[in-house]
């Protein structure tokens, strides 16, 4: 395990947070309706590993379907910064850090992050969708 604290922010830097991540442990991409549209690429962490530093007043929350998952974005620049919710299949309470918001991570480091694909479109979170190239 190679855990490190990473800083992250939206484009305008109104929203800033940090998270304790192990990039070598892998990330996820999902084909559910919102993840596919936003091209979300996330790393899931437990709440104790996530800290919002600034910008709570700039956050807006989008929910749909069961209204149990929170998709936070900056009201100023529109960047999706992180998600938060509860999914039993992945261990309960979580935050999903948007990898695109991480600061000071090189393209080489990004390219080395393992990706696991999830079939959220069919609520088969632990299965890989038949097609993943568009994710």
Handedness of CA 120, 123, 127, 129 (dihedral sign): negative
What's the pTM?
A: 0.89
- Write out pLDDT tens, residues 83-109: 999 988 778 999 999 999 999 999 999
What count of residues does the chain have? 135
Q: How many domains does the chain have?
A: 1
Question: Do the domain assignments include residue 134?
Answer: no
What's the domain range around 115?
A: 4-122
Least confident of 14-23, 27-36, 53-62: 27-36
CATH number of the domain where residue 84 is located: 2.170.150.70
Question: Do the domain assignments include residue 19?
Answer: yes
Instruction: Check whether 7 has a pLDDT greater than 90.
Output: yes
Instruction: Check whether 1 has a pLDDT greater than 70.
Output: no
Helices (H), 1-135: 33-38, 107-111
Burial (Cβ within 10 Å: 0-12, 13-18, ≥19) of residue 38: middle
Question: Do the domain assignments include residue 135?
Answer: no
Question: Do the domain assignments include residue 41?
Answer: yes
Residue 87: predicted pLDDT: 82
Distance, CA of 107 to chain centre: 18
Average pLDDT for 129-134:
90
Handedness of CA 110, 112, 114, 117 (dihedral sign): positive
Question: Do the domain assignments include residue 130?
Answer: no
Residue 111: predicted pLDDT: 95
Cα distances (Å, whole numbers) of residue 70 to 80, 81, 83, 131: 11, 11, 5, 26
Residue 125: predicted pLDDT: 79
Question: Do the domain assignments include residue 131?
Answer: no
């Amino acid at each position: 395990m190679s855990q490190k604290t990473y800083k992250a922010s939206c484009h305008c830097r109104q929203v800033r947070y940090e998270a304790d991540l192990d990039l070598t442990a892998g990330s996820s991409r999902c084909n559910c309706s919102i993840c596919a549209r936003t091209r979300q690429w996330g790393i899931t962490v437990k709440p104790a590993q996530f800290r919002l530093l600034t910008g709570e007043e700039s956050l807006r929350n989008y929910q749909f379907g069961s209204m149990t998952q929170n998709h936070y974005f900056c009201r100023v620049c529109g960047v999706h910064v992180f998600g938060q919710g509860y999914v039993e299949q992945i261990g309960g309470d979580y935050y999903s850090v948007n990898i695109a918001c991480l600061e000071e991570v090189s393209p080489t480091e990004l390219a080395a992050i393992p990706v696991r694909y999830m079939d959220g479109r069919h609520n088969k979170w632990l299965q890989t969708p038949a097609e993943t190239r568009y994710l």
